[in-house]
Amino acid sequence: MNVSSPHLPAVKVAVVSSYTVDLIVRDAAQQLKNSGSEVEWFVTPFGQYRQEILSNESALLKFQPNVILIALHGPELVENSLEISDLLMAASSRFATSTILVHNCALLLPLPMKFLEWNSDRSVRRAAAEVNVALSQLVSKLPNVHLLDLEELVSRYGAEKMYDARLYYLAKMQFSPFGTQAIATQLAWALLAIGGRRKKCLILDLDNTLWGGILGEDGVEHLRLSSDGEGKAFHDFQRHILALTTTGTILAICSKNDETPALQAMDSHPDMILRKEHFAAIRINWLDKSQNIRSIAEELNIGLDALVFLDDSPQERELVRIELPAVTVPDLPNDPSAYPAFLASLPYFETFSVTEEDASRRVMYAQERQRKEIQEGAKSVEEALMSLQIKVLVQSASAFTIPRIAQLTQKTNQFNLSTKRYTEAEIRALSSDPHCIVLCVSASDRLGDSGIVGVAILKTDTSPATIDTLLMSCRVLGRGIEQALVSVMQTIAQRHGTTTLAAEYVPTKKNGMVKKFLTENGFVSLNDQNKFVLEKSGEVPRWIKVQYEEF
């Protein structure tokens, strides 16, 4: 598995099952280890899953897992579906701070009456499908429980290939070595997705990647790109890429071409699906690609390790890999007909939930380009900021905002005081803790709504109160929103009887800007250079209108 991403913090993963999962765990552990992630594993004896989940004395409870995988035989899920629904509900509340993954129902054995199957009221396959629908509906109501699609793996690779009857009868293992590996890979990627390690931006080449042929040589009218026939492979590829943007992936172009004709081709070719407006950054020039990719990362304010680069040229790919090893550079297949399926097979953009910000990220980046233009055209920074009419709303965490709050703690690297990463389940627990205040800040202006862009977590059971987390998305930095947040945070803390706030700056390679911010905004450092105290914060900048809830 090729994950050149930052490491997961050491994560505790437990597996409870109705069959022997040791080989799956061993394989997943190896893959995660190779990717530099530290995982502590705990496997309960097979068949003990009920006791492990329900007992107050269970080893599972003592282990305090961050993630639990519940892996049950398909037939068991069908036969005991009601009881297992109850069990999942119990697991969701008993392990409220854990993320729980559940394999959905897959049947591995061929049925003796295949013609009769879907034509009978006793159809096993229909019952299995109904179980999966019921599970899907159930987990949509349980915020910390997600289905892991085992059925998809079995239908993609085939039960014959995934099942090994010998291992089942000898050791209650049921999966073949091939199946074991497929399941382990899926699990490893699921753990990375839960840890917020998904990639943020897909950078695309144009010639022979988004369309067939070379624009500069063949001309726009001879490009292979159509809604029918051979050129449909590129059309479908683009459609798949567009679908990624609805779950939060942003797009960029990096192509060696003349810019004007290339942009014209993008916006005028009748069968292009991706138009200029879909890209957050565009580099069409004759510069070195690694140089362009670096400047895309700077423009979008995201790390190189959050980028995936697709290009049909093996030479270009190799150069980028050498120059920018942090960028993920998969090998695009030689045959364009394989592009759409190849894109679908990439696990980098997988996620278990889509926040509102994910869904509208593309539009927000387009607005961001406009804001930059306004700032560049204005006489002074302040004039530009006044003209934006910025509004800021500070709210406490709620069911609607928790997914985005967790996402920000996982993704924000630069303006982040402590870089503490939290899962949704953990944020939920913190927000219901009476000694803890979880705030989020949303920003909007006359160009549009940026959604939730900042988070502050205050712990009030210490004296003075401690700022556990203070972070702001780098997209909105430098407009005074971070000053506004600190000011509001102190007002809210005052209502809880504490004026002074303590903050510990935890330095990383990327968050140097926080220290500078603290020293410039009323925080005083103590003997220990990274420990700060705030007695009186600055005012909210006058170009910002702040609203906040009663806390």
Partner 1 sequence: MKNSDDIQKRLRKTIAAVFELEEQHLPEDPSPQTIERWDSLGHLQLIIAIEQEFNVHFTMEKIPKLTSLELITSEVLHATR
Residue 141's Cβ-count burial label (10 Å; 0-12, 13-18, 19+) is exposed
Minimum CB separation of residue 177 from partner 1 in Å reads: 5
The region, left, alpha or beta by phi > 0 then psi within -120 to 50, assigned to residue 480 is left
| Residue 71 in tokens | 């892996």
In the complex, minimum distance from the CB of residue 320 to partner 1, in angstroms, rounded to a whole number: 34
Decide if residue 167 touches partner 1 (CB under 8 A).
yes
CB of 344 to partner 1, least distance (A): 28
Question: Which string of x and - marks every residue 276-305 that binds partner 1 (by CB under 8 A)?
Answer: ------------------------------
**CA 304/CA 298 separation, integer angstroms:** 9
Strand, coil or helix: 333: coil
- In the complex with partner 1, the residue whose CB is nearer, 20 or 92, is 20
Which C-beta is closer to partner 1: that of 122 or that of 166? 166
Among 113, 116, 133, 170, binds partner 1 (CB under 8 A): 170
The minimum distance between CB 29 and partner 1, in angstroms, equals 13
What residues form DSSP beta bridges with 445? 448
Stretch that binds partner 1, among 16-24, 340-348, 355-363, 440-448 (CB under 8 A): 16-24
Does 166 bind partner 1 (CB under 8 A)? Our answer is: yes
Pick the stretch among 98-106, 154-162, 165-173, 534-542 that binds partner 1 (CB under 8 A): 165-173
Query: Could you tell me what percentage of the chain is helix, strand and coil, using 3-state DSSP and rounding each to the nearest 5?
Result: 45, 20, 35
Which amino acid is it at 239?
R
Site for partner 1 contains 22 (CB under 8 A): yes
For residue 57, CA distances in Å to 62, 127, 376, 444 come to 8, 35, 63, 49
The interface region with partner 1, picked from 123-131, 161-169, 191-199, 344-352 by CB under 8 A, is: 161-169
The interface mask with partner 1, positions 176-205, x = CB under 8 A, is -x----------------------------
What is the number of alpha carbons within 13 Å of residue 275 lying toward its C-beta? Answer: 7
Q: Within positions 232 to 251, which residues make up the interface with partner 1, using CB under 8 A?
A: none
**Smaller CB separation from partner 1, 167 or 262:** 167
Q: Of 18-26, 364-372, 401-409, 439-447, which segment contacts partner 1 by CB under 8 A?
A: 18-26
CA distances from 195 to 7, 64, 189 (A): 9, 17, 10
Total residues at the site for partner 1 (CB under 8 A)?
Answer: 12
Q: Is 101 exposed, middle or buried (0-12, 13-18, 19+ CB in 10 A)?
A: buried
Say how far apart CA 250 and CA 308 lie, in whole Å. 10
Is there binding between residue 169 and partner 1 (CB under 8 A)?
yes
Helices (H), 308-421: 314-323, 339-345, 356-377, 381-388, 402-411
CB 165, min distance to partner 1, A: 7
- Is the distance from CB of 166 to CB of 270 less than 8 angstroms? no
State which of residues 11, 15, 16, 23 lies at the interface with partner 1 (CB under 8 A): 23
Stretch that binds partner 1, among 102-110, 160-168, 242-250, 307-315 (CB under 8 A): 160-168
Considering only residues 314 through 343, tell me which ones interact with partner 1, judged by CB under 8 A: none
Tell me the closest approach of the beta carbon of residue 21 to partner 1, in angstroms. 11
Under rule CB under 8 A, residue 109 binds partner 1: no
Rg for the chain (alpha carbons), in Å? 26
C-beta of 2: minimal distance to partner 1 in Å?
Answer: 22
**DSSP character at residue 8:** P
Closer Cβ to partner 1, 165 or 381, answer by number: 165
Question: Could you tell me which of 341, 351, 362, 353 has the C-alpha nearest to residue 239?
Answer: 341
Alpha-carbon distance of 410 to 423, in angstroms, equals: 8
CB 474 within 8 A of CB 454: no
Q: Which residues bind partner 1 (CB under 8 A)?
A: 20, 22-23, 26, 165-167, 169-171, 173, 177
